[in-house]
Amino acid sequence: MTQHWWHVAISWALAAAGFGVMAWMAARRHADAKRRTALLGPRERRQG
């Protein structure tokens, strides 16, 4: 692999990692808040 292709691969990998990690963090935050909300009462379980 040439140096040019290394730079191309790193650029695309950084973009994929950046979006992937942030999406995973958002999903985890939402799931955690939903789980803790459900613990508070059955009415809250229906929403979210």
Partner 1 sequence: MSSTPPAPRPAPRSASLSAASPRAGGGLHRFANPGRFLRMTERVLPWLWAAAGLVLAVGAAWALVFSPPDWQQGETVRIMYVHVPMAWLAMGGYLGLAIASLMSLIWRHPLADLAARELSPVGAMVTALCLATGSLWGRPMWGTWWAWDARMTSVLVLFFLWVGHAALVRAFDEEERGARAAAILALIGAVNLPVIKWSVDWFNTLHQSASVTRVAAPGLHVDILYPLLTCALGFSLAFAALVLARVRAAVMEKRLRQLQLAQARQNDTRRNEVAG
Q: How far apart are CA 6 and CA 35, in angstroms?
A: 42
Query: Does the protein bind partner 1 through residue 8 (CB under 8 A)?
Result: yes
- The footprint of partner 1 on residues 27-46 (CB under 8 A) is 27, 29-30, 33-34, 36-37, 40-41, 44
- Span between the terminal Cα atoms of the chain, in Å: 48
Q: Please tell me whether residue 38 adopts helix, strand or coil conformation.
A: helix
Residues at the contact surface with partner 1, assessed by CB under 8 A: 2-5, 7-8, 10-12, 14-15, 18-19, 22-23, 26-27, 29-30, 33-34, 36-37, 40-41, 44, 47-48
